[in-house]
Amino acid sequence: MAEKVLSIANSITVGELADVLNLPVTTLIGELFKNGIAATINQRIDFETATIIVEELGLDVELQKKEVAAAAERPTRELSDKAVARPPIVAVMGHVDHGKTSLLDSILGQKVVEGEAGGITQHISAYQTVRKERTITLLDTPGHEAFAALRQHGATLTDVVIIVVAADDGVKPQTIEAIRFARTANAKIVVAINKIDKEAANPQMVMAQLASEHGLNPEAWGGDTVMVEVSAKTGQGVDQLLDMVLLVADMEELKAEVETSAEGLVIEAHMEIGRGAVVGFLVEQGVLKPGMFMVAGTAYGKVRTLEDFTGKAIKEAGPSTPVTVTGFKELPQFGDIFQVVKNEKEARARAAETRKEREDSAASANVTGADILKMMTQKHEAADFNIIVKADVQGSLTSVIDSLKLIETGGEVSLHVVSSGIGNITENDIRLASDGKTIIYGFNVELPPAVKQLATRERAEVRLYKIIYELLDDAKNSMEKLLAPEVVETEVGILEVKGVFRTLKDEVIAGGQVVTGKITPGLLVRMKRGDEGLGEAEITSLQREKIAAKEVFEGDMCGLTLKTDKKTLLEIGDHLEFFTREVVERHLA
Ligand code: GDP
C-alpha cells in the first residue's frame, strides 16, 4: 500500500501533475522524455500515463481516478418552496447469493427476472413498491459491472442502501464494497440480515462483524445503524425492513422540483426491433410526458411511448420514477443525464454540443497510456491488435471492451479499439475494417445481409458472439498470433577442430572430432575459442573419410564445410557448438 493516495482526473496536464505530486515540472518532463515523450508543461497526459510515470519515478504514491460521475457533476440546486416530497431511491446491494434477488422478489411480490447471457448485466434494474401508501423506488445492480457503473454514475441518486448479508455466511468482499459505496454516495445504510430461517443463521455474528470491523453499530446495541432480520424465503421481517427504510429516508427530507423541465439519468439503453432505441430513465425532477423533446448525451428525440417499470403505458412520470421511453433517434449512453428541452431544434443542438465536447476531451489527452506502453516496448516491437466492437447495449459494450483490455500480453500486443458502438454491424464498420488489419467483434448484434455482402467484398473480418467468454477467448487467440514467436535453440553436439583446410570470405573447410552428440548437415554452429565467440555459421556439407555423410557421432573424425557470414580464421583447438533454432508459437498465460 502506497503511503499516499492522490486522486486525479482522467487526464491532467504535466504542470498540474507536477503540482499534485509536489515535484519540479522539469523532473516530470525529464521522466516523460526518458520514455520517449517530448512533453511540454501544458501537455495533457492521461491517467494511465501518469500512473506509469509515478511508478517509474519510484514515488510512494498511488494515483486514483477521480470518480467524476456524470451525475455528481451536476450542481446541487437550492430547492424552491414548490418542491414536493419524492419517493426514496433505495439500492439493494450485497454479496452474491446473499439473497438480493430473492429479497426483491419478496418485496415486489413478483419474480425478478434477470437475463444474464455471458454474465453481463450492467444496466441498473429499477422497480417500485408501495408500503403504507408510500412509494419506494428500488434499484438493483444485477452484475458486478452494474455495481461499478452505479458507483460511477448513480452515486448521487441513491438515498438509502439496503445491504443484504446472509446470516449464515457473514460479511464478504461485496458486502464491504457495498458499505464503501453507501459511504461515498452519502447514502443511509439499512442492513438486511437475510436467511434467518436457516438453521445455521447467526445474526449476532453478522452484527458483531459489522460493528467491530466495519464501523456499523447496530441500533439494538445502542449504535445508529438500523439492522433488520429478514427471510426473503418466508417473507419474515420484510415489511419491517421497508418501514425502517422509510423511517431512515424520512430523516433526509427528500424533495424534488416538479415545476421544472424533467431531468434524470439513463439507467439502461438498448435497441429493439420494431421499437428502436428503448431507454430506461430514472426521473429525478420535473414531470416527463409523451411528446416532450428530450436529449441525453449525444442522443435526442421525442418521447414516443412512456411506460412504467412493469411495461404499462403511463401519461406522466414524476421524480424518483423509473420509466422506459422510446423515441430516441440513436442510443444514449448508460449514465448519461437526460433532459427535456423546448423543441427539436434545441434537442439537436444540445446533442451536437455534447458530441463536440466528447470528441474534444477524447482528443485532449494527447499522450495516452497505450502510447507510452508502446514506446516502452518498441524495442521488442509491439504488435497492434486493431478491433471494432459493437454490442447490443452500452453496458455490454463497456464490459466487452474493459475485459479485452484486461488480456495480459506483457505489453507485447497493444489493443486498439478503432471504433465502438451500439447496434448491428454497419457498412461504416466494414469500411473501417477493410484494411485487412482490423477485426470487427459483434456481441449480441447481427450482421445484416447487405452488410455481410460488403464484408465479403472488402474481406473484412467479422466475428459475432453471444457469450462474452467465447469472444474473449477468440480475441486472446488472435492476440497470441501477434506475439513475437519465441526462438528456441537446442544444443545437439560439440566438435573440436583438428585441422583447417581452407578459409574463404564466407566459407571455412575444417576437420575435427565430435566431442559429444550427433552432427548432421544443416545444423547451425557457434564457433568458439575458449569462451570467446567467433561467430555463427551453418554446416553446408559433412564428410567422413572424404565421403559425404548424413550424420557423424561422438568420437568420429569428420570434415565439414561451414558457411560463415564473415571471414573467420579457425584454429586447431577451437570448438564448434552445434545447435538447432526453432521458432515456436507462444501462448498468453
Ligand atoms: P443474490 O445473488 O444476492 O441475488 O441471491 P439470490 O436471491 O439469488 O439467492 C441466493 C440463494 O439463496 C438462492 O438459492 C435463494 O433461494 C437462497 N435464499 C435467498 N434468500 C433466502 C432466505 O431468506 N432463506 C433461505 N433459506 N434461502 C434464501
Domain CATH for 431:
3.40.50.10050
Shortest-distance Cα residue to atom 9 of ligand 1: 99
Residues 463 and 429 in one domain: yes
Q: Is residue 367 part of a domain?
A: no
* Share of residues in the chain with pLDDT > 90 (%): 39
Nearest CA to ligand 1 atom 18: 99
User: Could you tell me where the DSSP H helices lie in 109-226?
Assistant: 144-153, 173-184, 203-214
Q: pLDDT exceeding 70 applies to what percent of the chain? A: 86
Same-domain pairing of 451 and 323 = no
Q: With helix as H, strand as E and coil as C, how does 138-168 read?
A: EEECCCHHHHHHHHHHCHHHCCEEEEEEECC
Residues 280 and 250 in one domain: no
Choice among 20-24, 122-126, 499-503 with the minimum mean pLDDT: 122-126
What's the CA-to-centroid distance between 106 and ligand 1, angstroms?
11
Is the CB of 231 within 6 Å of ligand 1? yes
- Looking at the fold, whether 248 and 115 belong to one and the same domain comes out as yes
**298 vs 515: CA distance, rounded Å:** 75
The answer, yes or no, to whether any atom of ligand 1 lies below 6 A from the CB of 409, is no
d(CA 508, CA 497): 12
Output the nine-digit C-alpha cell for 452: 455481410
The reply to whether 44 falls in a domain is yes
pLDDT at residue 83 greater than cutoff 90:
no
Give the residues across from 434 on adjacent strands. none
Question: How many distinct structural domains can be found in the chain?
Answer: 5
Residue 144 structural domain: 84-256
Instruction: List beta partners, residue 353.
Output: none
Q: Is the pLDDT of residue 524 over 70?
A: yes
Residue 321 has pLDDT above 60, yes or no: yes
Ligand 1 nearest-atom number relative to CA 142:
4
- Ligand 1 atom 14: residue of nearest CA: 97
Query: From the CA of 425, how far away is ligand 1's center (Å)?
Result: 39
Q: Is 83 helix (H, G, I), strand (E, B) or coil?
A: coil
Note whether residue 506 is domain-resident: yes
Within 10 angstroms of residue 209's Cβ, the number of other Cβ atoms is 17
Asked if residue 102 is part of any domain, the answer here is yes
User: Cα-flanking dihedrals φ and ψ of residue 298, to 5°?
Assistant: -95, 5
- Residue 566 CA to residue 268 CA, distance in Å, equals 68
Q: Is the pLDDT of residue 504 over 70?
A: yes
Q: Distance of CA 524 to CAs 520, 541, 580, Å?
A: 10, 12, 6
**Average pLDDT of the chain?**
84
User: Phi and psi (nearest 5°) for 63?
Assistant: -90, 140
Whose Cα sits closest to atom 17 in ligand 1? 99
Give distance in angstroms: CA of 180 to centre of ligand 1: 23
Instruction: From 240, 256, 272, give the residue that closes a domain.
Output: 256
pLDDT for res 143 = 61
Q: Would the CB of 214 count as within 6 Å of ligand 1?
A: no
Say if residue 96's pLDDT is above 70: yes
- Residues 349 and 352: their CA atoms lie apart, in Å, by 5
pLDDT in the model for residue 109:
82
Q: Which of 459, 480, 501 is the last residue of a domain?
A: 480
Q: Which residues pair with 258 in a beta bridge?
A: none
The per-residue pLDDT for 547 is 86
> What's the 98 CA to ligand 1 centre distance in angstroms?
6
Clarify whether residues 41 and 110 are in a common domain: no
pLDDT at residue 17, rounded to an integer: 84
Higher-pLDDT residue of 589 and 107 is: 107
Residue 374 lies in a domain: no
Residues 343 and 295: their CA atoms lie apart, in Å, by: 10
pLDDT at 247: 94
**H, E, C per residue of 39-71:** CCCCCEEEHHHHHHHHHHCCCCEEEEECCCCHH
Identify the residue with better confidence: 522 or 237: 237
Q: Rounded CA gap, 363 and 355, in Å? A: 12
Instruction: Examine the domain organization and report whether 240 and 346 are in the same domain.
Output: no
Q: Report how far apart the first and last C-alpha atoms of the chain are (Å, whole number).
A: 26
Ligand 1, atom 24, lies closest to the CA of 195
CA of 144 to the centre of ligand 1 (A): 17
Candidate of 102, 105, 127, 228 to mutate for ligand 1, largest count of ligand atoms within 8 Å of Cβ:
102
197 CB under 6 A from ligand 1?
yes
- Name which of 4-18, 35-49, 303-317, 459-473 the model is least confident about: 35-49
101 Cβ closer than 6 Å to some ligand 1 atom: yes
Residue 589 included in any domain: no
Residue 580 has pLDDT above 50, yes or no: yes
Ligand 1 mean position, distance from CA 194 (Å): 8
Range 503-526 burial, b when 16+ CB lie within 10 A, else e: eeeeebbbbbebeebebebebebb
Task: Tell the residue nearest (CA) to atom 19 of ligand 1.
Answer: 99
| Atom 11 in ligand 1: residue holding the nearest Cα | 97
Rounded mean pLDDT, 361-370: 51
* Ligand 1 nearest atom to the CA of residue 105, by list position: 7
- Whether the pLDDT of residue 430 is over 50: the answer is yes
Atom of ligand 1 nearest to the CA of 230: 23
Among 414, 446, 480, identify where a domain stops. 480
Q: Enter the pTM of the model.
A: 0.55
Phi and psi, residue 483, nearest 5°: -65, 140
pLDDT band with cut points at 50, 70 and 90 for residue 387: very high
pLDDT given at position 468: 86
Model confidence pLDDT, tens digit, residues 152-180 = 666 667 899 999 999 999 999 889 888 88
Confidence (pLDDT) at 66: 66
Q: Specify the CATH number for the domain of residue 309.
A: 2.40.30.10
Residue 91 and residue 204 in contact, taking contact as beta carbons nearer than 8 Å: no
Cβ of residue 339 lying under 6 Å from some atom of ligand 1: no
Judge if 426 and 472 occupy the same domain. Answer: yes
Q: Are residues 157 and 239 in the same domain?
A: yes
Q: pLDDT tens for residues 103-112? A: 999 998 865 5
H-helix or E-strand spanning residue 93: strand 89-94
Is the CB of 458 within 6 Å of ligand 1? no
The answer to whether residues 497 and 456 belong to one domain is no
Asked if residue 183 is part of any domain, the answer here is yes
Indicate whether 506 pLDDT > 90.
no
The CATH number of the domain where 94 resides is what?
3.40.50.300
Find the mean pLDDT for residues 68-97. Answer: 72
Which atom of ligand 1 has the smallest separation from the CA of 232? 23
**80/123: higher pLDDT:** 80
CA of 241 to the centre of ligand 1 (A): 17
276-285 and 322-328 as β-strands: parallel, antiparallel, unpaired? antiparallel
Task: Please report whether residue 75 resides in a domain.
Answer: no
Give the pLDDT confidence of 462-485 residue by residue, as tens digits. Answer: 999 988 888 998 999 888 877 766
Least confident of 513-517, 518-522, 585-589: 585-589
Torsion of CA 114, 116, 122, 124, to 10 degrees: 0
The Å distance, Cα 99 to ligand 1 centre, comes to 4
Q: Indicate whether residue 172 lines ligand 1 (CB < 6 A).
A: no
pLDDT the model gives residue 575: 96
Under 8 Å between Cβ of 64 and 232: no
Instruction: Write phi, then psi, for 443 (nearest 5 degrees).
Output: -115, 115
Can you read off the three cell numbers belonging to residue 506?
A: 564466407
Closest CA to 60 of 131, 4, 129: 4
Per-residue pLDDT, 150? 67
Other beta carbons less than 10 A from residue 391's beta carbon:
26
pLDDT for 253-279, tens place per residue?
A: 888 889 999 999 888 888 787 888 899
Q: What is the reported pLDDT for 112?
A: 59
Say yes or no: 173 and 251 in one domain: yes
Q: Is the CB of 62 under 6 A from ligand 1?
A: no
Question: Beta strands 293-296 and 134-140: pairing type?
Answer: unpaired
- Number of other CB atoms surrounding residue 319 within 10 Å: 26
Q: Over 90: is that where the pLDDT of 555 sits?
A: yes
Cβ of 102 below 6 Å from ligand 1: yes
Question: 472 in ligand 1 pocket by Cβ < 6 Å?
Answer: no
Give me the sheet containing 438-443, strands edge to edge: 413-422, 383-391, 438-443, 461-465
